[in-house]
Every structure is written in structure tokens, then in C-alpha cells.
Amino acid sequence: MKLVYLGALIVGAYFLFPLYVLVLLAFNEPSSTLLAKYPSLLPLSLTLNNLKASLQGSEFLDPFMKSLETATLVGLVTILLAVPAGYGLSRLPRSISYPFLVLLLVTNMMPAIVIGIPIAVEFIKLHLFESVIGLALAQTLVTLPIATFIIQGTFSSIPVDLENQARIDGAGLFRRLFSILLPLAAPGIAAAFLISWMFSWDEFTYAILLIPFHSTLPVTIYLDVTRGNLLAGVAFSLIFTLPVIVLTFALQKYLRGEYLAGGIKG
């Protein structure tokens, strides 16, 4: 059992180490980090000047708001489409629904750069180029199959007898959906929304193809780093992680294996 804890500790430290280095760079004098010949892994010269200088000298708010709007819009559109799709697939025989689910997930294996260029061409014609709506619609192609898979599993785990009983009592489809199915499937839907939001929050490929001139925060961070403005990149990266941490802690009860696999117990 001790080896299990030791393994968990090593894996946790491996994933948290980049975040720790990011905090060190953000809150230490550059002389002890970026400009040091042998940078220390200990906080030796704490300061807030890096964040203040970066936020005052750069356009941060507009890219941040674009990322926030895109991720939220992707989450809402994905749930709006995935709920009816997941419910329909959950009520089909498994021999029919399973190939559909596999086909949906296979579409996610295509590199974004391959389908991003033709999408950009079409969006220029539709006046969706350089817009948050266009970027959100493109990113929904990535999140919709995963959300449909999660929600389909959630609806499948709800006993059909419960729905049949409501039908016998005279409840129509929308009444059954809003009064019985959606409340029971809420954890799975919340998990699907959270994953869709996170997948879209740090989206880069579609952002640089579809909204290149006034882009989202990941592209802004990339441009700052490649142009040598490292402190601004560090400050923005640190702020960029905060919404993910807050959202993860707020909805952590839904990030469980049974919800992601649609494991609601009837």
C-alpha cells in the first residue's frame, strides 16, 4: 500500500513541477530565474513587479475575454447538441448505437490542422472568419463526440422502466425529458460541459487558423514568448491557469469515473 502512495506522490510531483516553475518565474526577480546562470528551485527573491509590469505593458484583457467567450460558447453549444444526440443513441439497440459512437470518436483522431484549413476557407465565405462564433463552432467538432459519448452513457444507465412508467402516466417526451431524464443525467451533463470547456480553454490550432489577427490568450502567450517577452508570457500563463483550477475545484464532484462513463445507478 505504501508503494501506491509513493507512486501517486511521484506522479503528482511530475505533473505539478511545471506549475511550480511557472510560479517561481512569476514571483521571483528575473536575476534569480531567467537571468541566473544556475537558477534556483527555491523562492529566493519574491516580488510582484513581474506581474505588474507585464499586465501594464501588454494587451491582456481582450485575448482573455475571447478565450473565456469561446470556451463558454463551446460548452453550451456542445451540451445543446450532445443531449438530444446522446439520448437518441441511448435508446437505440447497442448493435446500432455502438458503430455510431465509434465513428464519432474516430473523427476526433483527425489532426486539427488537416480540417482547420478547409474550415477557414468556408468560414471566410460565411463571414465567420476572425470571430469568436466561428472559432467556437470549429472547436465544437472536437468536443461534441466526447460529450455525446459521456451523455449517451449517462442516459443508458437510467432505467428505461422509469421512462416507461412516466409514459403510461401520460407524460410526453419533453415532460419525461425535463422532469425525469435531465435531472437524473445532470452529473453526466455537467461532466461533459466541464470537459468541453477545458478542451476549448487552451485551444491553439483552430485559434491561430480561424482568428489569427486578434486571437485568444494561448496565441497571445505564444507570440509573447517567441518575441522574447518572456515575463509577459509567464504572467499570462499563470493567470491562464486560474480559471481551470477554480472550475475544477468547483465541479470536482462531477469528475468521477462513473460520471464520465455514464455510470448513474438506477
Q: What digits encode the pLDDT tens for the residues 94-103?
A: 888 888 888 8
* pLDDT above 90: residue 81: yes
Q: How far apart are CA 81 and CA 136, in angstroms?
A: 13
pLDDT digits over 210-259, tens only? 888 888 888 888 888 888 777 777 877 887 788 888 877 777 776 665 55
Q: State pLDDT tens for residues 200-212.
A: 888 888 888 888 8
Residue 133's pLDDT band, with cuts at 50, 70 and 90, is very high
pLDDT score at 258: 58
What pTM does this model have?
Answer: 0.80
pLDDT recorded at residue 255: 65
Q: So what's the pLDDT on residue 265? A: 45
pLDDT attached to residue 69: 92
Q: What CA–CA distance (Å, rounded) separates 80 from 199?
A: 17
Residue spans per domain, the chain: 1-46, 61-261
Residues 6+ apart with CB under 8 A from 87: 151, 152, 155, 177, 181
Could you tell me which CATH number the domain at 61-261 has? 1.10.3720.10
Tell me, what's the pLDDT at 47?
82
Q: Is the pLDDT of residue 114 over 90?
A: no
What is the pLDDT averaged over residues 117-134?
A: 86
Compute φ and ψ for 29, nearest 5 degrees: -60, 140
Rank 21-25, 69-73, 262-266 by mean pLDDT and report only the highest.
69-73
41 and 60 Cβ atoms separated by less than 8 Å:
no
Residue 50 and residue 234 in contact, taking contact as beta carbons nearer than 8 Å: yes
How many angstroms separate the CA atoms of 139 and 189, rounded?
18
pLDDT of 148 reads 92
